[in-house]
A and B are shown apart, each in its own frame.
Chain A
Amino acid sequence: MAELSDIKNATIRAEVEEFVTRPEEIARNVALFTRAHERMQAIAAGIIDGDDDLVDKLTAEALKAGHEALEIMDDGLIAGMGVVGIKFRENFIFVPEVLACARAMKAGMGHIEPILSASGVDPIATVIMGTVKGDLHDIGKNLCIMMLRGSGFEVIDLGVDTSADAFIDAIETHGAPIIGMSALLTTTMPNMGKTIEAIIDAGLREQVLVMVGGAPVTQEFADDMGADGYGKDALACVSLAKQLIEAKRRNAPA
């Protein structure tokens, strides 16, 4: 079994030691980073540090040195972001720092994405995002979009004040497997439920997963109105989207 001390990169070793405390997360990160190439560890460290210039440079170098784009994405960029997510969840870091990490992620993905799409590797999934009808607040939704894109999702952004029809049109046009709805106001939050009903009426509920979020939204509310999941912040949104998509693909008939 790999041990923490087997992680070669000193920054990663220190980060995992200091900030990752749940046993299953320690095990996962130790396994991941002891297996990952040192270049990948350095990229992950750059992500954790929120250093976009460094990640930009290291990603380009790794590609030049012959590493696969997928390896860089999984073992470098996404692996680094995993630690960032844990630190944010445990209140060790704050919104501005997560955003710096997301920008570093974007810098790395800038090299990776064109290669993946040229070689026919699809994005993880397409997500349709919008703030619900009657609500003009978009800061939280935009953070979610930034994190989703950084994590390999393609996002169709419907903006604010999005009607049920606009969501339905977008589901039909893009064939997206997930939509995300956001609301900041208690008075507009019920429009999430109304949109879900409209999606049912349009006969599309079977083909699309619905995630919801926003300050007044809770898991209970998400359950009540029949959403498939609730995320309390932008990083939770990304892990939820991943979970939903994985579950869907597992259950799909081969």
Chain B
Amino acid sequence: MTERPSRLIVIGENIHTTRVLMRKGPRLAVIDGVDVIKFTTVNGAEKTLTVPDSAKRTQDWEQGRVKHVKVAIDAAMQGGPEAGLGVEYLRTMAANQERGGAHFLDLNVDEISLKAEGQIAAIRWVVKTMEGMTKLPLSIDSSSVDVIRAGFEALSGKGQRTMLNSASLERLEALDLAKTYNAPVVVTAAGEKGMPDGIQPRVDNASRMVEAALQRGIALSDLYVDPLIFPVSVDTAFGPHCLEAIRALRLRFGPEIHITGGMSNVSFGIPARKLINDVFLVLAMEAGADSAIMDPVVSKPAELANLDRSSAAYKFAEDIILDRDRNCRSFLKAWRKGDLKV
């Protein structure tokens, strides 16, 4: 067994325009007939950000959710009366990520607009704004290379090295960008023509990415390999696929390379997601991962070591992750009985 790394490099994934708050949750309120999002600033001041009508005309709102980060960025970029509050909101989120133990602040604005121009304008604005308000290095995250490029162009160049999230075989040009900007880079195991099926395609695709990066003169220690984590709700074999790929990649590339991944994908489609995410993270670290793309405010890295591995809840989660519980049947049964409290 690979020794558990002493440190987990957290790519703090919360300043994302996909992020939602529940309308029924504690952060939403109606004050004087106006729907608002409540937040507490770094200095402890209680503030509210108005939910604009544009956000209320969405399906999300109808279904009980609001994309709060999008609301904040829209407010700030539009420069209306709440522009300052929008900026304050983002500053608060960044501070919370920092306090939670993030090592990078991942920024993704893909859902700000359906148009490339809108996404590019937003990433430029967010990069410039966040650079000045956090001590953390940024991570520029998009599924479009054009958006990533725009984000890097917006950097002052004076700050710390910014991460690029991500490059893969279908967009190798992102590696050239990483080289140009001397950026640590997430390389994924996605193939040119599709997602990897099983362990070996993950290892093969990821290895080709590592080779391609090395050829461009990117150092092994600047690579964050993401073997791709798929939801075990869809197929319980996905857990071992990812964990075994991590093991093989660590063995193949040694201690210098980083192994990461969007850990919370694993629990999509099942309840008790935090439990599953935490157990998966422990198992991934044991297999050789030393990084995670995650929200450290929700899953606290420092608490992982304290997980009670002999608890029934841990066992149930471990069983679905290691493909020992067909259709997650026992897990869901235990959840319904209320047996999954940690």
Which A residues fall within an 8 A CB radius of B?
Answer: 50, 93-97, 99-100, 136-139, 143, 159-161, 185-190, 216, 218-221
Find out whether the CB atom of A190 lies under 8 angstroms from the CB atom of B114.
yes
Find out whether the CB atom of B269 lies under 8 angstroms from the CB atom of A136.
no
Those of B219-277 within 8 Å (CB) of chain A: 230-231, 233-234, 236, 268-271
Find out whether the CB atom of A187 lies under 8 angstroms from the CB atom of B233.
no
Whether A160 contacts B193 in the complex (CB less than 8 A), given A94-B233, A95-B233, A186-B111, comes out as: yes
Give per-residue flags for B88-118: 1 if the beta carbon is below 8 A from chain A beta carbons, else 0: 0000000000000000000000110011100
Find out whether the CB atom of B114 lies under 8 angstroms from the CB atom of A221.
yes
Contact partner of A216 among B111, B142, B190, B269, CB < 8 A? B111
Find out whether the CB atom of A139 lies under 8 angstroms from the CB atom of B234.
yes
Find out whether the CB atom of A136 lies under 8 angstroms from the CB atom of B231.
no
Q: Is B184 an interface residue (CB 8 A)?
A: no
Max chain A Cβ within 10 angstroms of own Cβ: one of B144, B170, B193, B327: B327
Find out whether the CB atom of B191 lies under 8 angstroms from the CB atom of A96.
no
* 9 A–B pairs (Cβ distance < 8 Å), ordered by A: A94-B270, A96-B269, A99-B234, A136-B194, A139-B195, A161-B193, A186-B143, A187-B147, A218-B59
CA distance A172 to B38 in the complex (A): 54
Find out whether the CB atom of B233 lies under 8 angstroms from the CB atom of A186.
no
Question: Which A residue sits closest to B142, measured CB to CB?
Answer: A187
Find out whether the CB atom of A136 lies under 8 angstroms from the CB atom of B193.
yes
Q: Is B332 an interface residue (CB 8 A)?
A: yes
Find out whether the CB atom of B231 lies under 8 angstroms from the CB atom of A139.
yes
Q: Is B37 an interface residue (CB 8 A)?
A: no
Q: A94-B270, A136-B170 are in contact. List 9 more A-B contacts (CB 8 A).
A: A96-B270, A96-B327, A96-B329, A99-B234, A136-B194, A143-B234, A161-B193, A189-B114, A220-B59
Q: Is B328 an interface residue (CB 8 A)?
A: yes
CA distance A160 to B197 in the complex (A): 14
Contact partner of A188 among B57, B143, B233, B268, CB < 8 A? B143
Question: Which A residue sits closest to B116, measured CB to CB?
Answer: A187
Those of B302-331 within 8 Å (CB) of chain A: 327-329
Whether A138 contacts B332 in the complex (CB less than 8 A), given A94-B269, A186-B114, A220-B58, comes out as: no
Q: Which residues of B contact A186 (CB under 8 A)?
A: 110-111, 114, 119, 143
Find out whether the CB atom of B190 lies under 8 angstroms from the CB atom of A139.
no
CA distance A50 to B114 in the complex (A): 39
Q: Which residues of A contact B195 (CB under 8 A)?
A: 136-139, 160
Inter-chain contact total with CB atoms closer than 8 Å:
80
B39 to chain A, nearest CB (A): 25
A132 to chain B, nearest CB (A): 13
Q: Which residues of B contact A160 (CB under 8 A)?
A: 193-195
Whether A187 contacts B59 in the complex (CB less than 8 A), given A95-B270, A96-B328, A136-B195, comes out as: no
CA distance A139 to B205 in the complex (A): 19
Those of B177-205 within 8 Å (CB) of chain A: 190-191, 193-195
Find out whether the CB atom of B327 lies under 8 angstroms from the CB atom of A97.
yes
CA distance A143 to B270 in the complex (A): 15
CA distance A139 to B170 in the complex (A): 18
Find out whether the CB atom of B143 lies under 8 angstroms from the CB atom of A161.
no
Q: Which residues of A contact B144 (CB under 8 A)?
A: 187
Question: Which B residue sits closest to A193, measured CB to CB?
Answer: B114
B209 to chain A, nearest CB (A): 14
Question: Which A residue sits closest to B336, measured CB to CB?
Answer: A92
